[in-house]
Amino acid sequence: MIYISRKEHFNAAHKLYNPKWSEEKNQQIFGECSNANWHGHNFELIVTVRGKPSEETGFIIDLKELSKLIQEEIIEQLDHKNLNLDVEFMKGKMATIEVLVQEIWNILAPAINQLSSNGELFKLTLTETKSQFVEYCGNDRGYDTKSIGSGQDLDL
Ligand SMILES: [Zn+2]
C-alpha cells in the first residue's frame, strides 16, 4: 500500500466560545482564544490518500485533480473566512481543529472515492500553529467520538 499526500493552506478567523457558558467560564476554559473580537491562524491541511498505483498511470490518484477537489470543496469555503460565522458546515459547532477536521473528512472521503478507483482517504492532518495540530483517520479507525462524548453540536 502506498500513501500519497497533498498539502494545502488557508487563513481563517475563529474564537473558541461556548454560548451556554458564562463569560467567566469561557475565559477560564478557552483563555485568550475566547476573545470576543476573534483571532486568526494560517492553517495547513495535509490530505493523505492510500491505495495501489494504477497500471495505466502509475498514480493512486491524480494529484492535480485532488488539489482541485480540495480547493473547491474545502479551501474556497474556509480561506479568509470566519469559521464561526461564515462556514456552512461549521454552523452551530465549536470552531476547534478537532471538530473542523471531522467536518473536512465527511466532505472529502466520499469525494475522493468518486475521484479515484485506486485510492481512498486515509488521514487528514490539520495544523493550527507551529506547535498544535490534529490527525484524523475517520471514525472506523480507532477514533470513536461517541466514547469520548460528542457535545459538539450546540444550539446556537
Ligand atoms: Zn485560535
Compute, in angstroms, the gap from residue 65 CA to the centroid of ligand 1. Answer: 30
Number of domains the chain contains = 1
Q: Is 41 a catalytic residue?
A: no
* Cell digits of residue 86: 461564515
The closest alpha carbon to 13, from 67, 71, 87, belongs to 87
Residue 82 lies in a domain: yes
pLDDT tens series, the chain, 156 aa: 999 999 999 999 999 999 999 999 999 999 989 988 999 999 999 999 999 999 999 999 999 999 999 999 999 999 999 999 999 999 999 999 999 999 999 999 999 999 999 999 999 999 999 999 999 999 864 444 444 444 455 555
Q: Is 88 a catalytic residue?
A: no
Q: Which domain holds residue 59?
A: 4-141
Compute, in angstroms, the gap from residue 138 CA to the centroid of ligand 1. Answer: 23
Eight-state DSSP code of residue 94: -
Per-residue confidence (pLDDT) for residue 153, from 0 to 100: 54
Residue 147 lies in a domain: no
In Å, what is the CA distance from 58 to each residue of 4, 53, 61, 138? 12, 5, 9, 26
Compute, in angstroms, the gap from residue 87 CA to the centroid of ligand 1. Answer: 16
Q: Is 80 a catalytic residue?
A: yes
Residue 152 lies in a domain: no
* Cell digits of residue 35: 476573545
CATH number at residue 95: 3.30.479.10
Distance CA 55, CA 96 (A): 41
Compute, in angstroms, the gap from residue 15 CA to the centroid of ligand 1. Answer: 6
Residue 76 lies in a domain: yes
Residue 154 lies in a domain: no
Residue 156 lies in a domain: no
Per-residue confidence (pLDDT) for residue 40, from 0 to 100: 96
Q: Is pTM, for the whole model, over 0.75?
A: yes
Compute, in angstroms, the gap from residue 100 CA to the centroid of ligand 1. Answer: 12
Residue 132 lies in a domain: yes
Q: Which residue among the candidates 8, 44, 73, 128 is catalytic per the annotation?
A: 128
Residue 150 lies in a domain: no
Per-residue confidence (pLDDT) for residue 139, from 0 to 100: 80
**In this structure, how many other beta carbons lie within 10 angstroms of the beta carbon of residue 80?**
12
Q: Which residue among the candidates 8, 33, 73, 137 is catalytic per the annotation?
A: 33
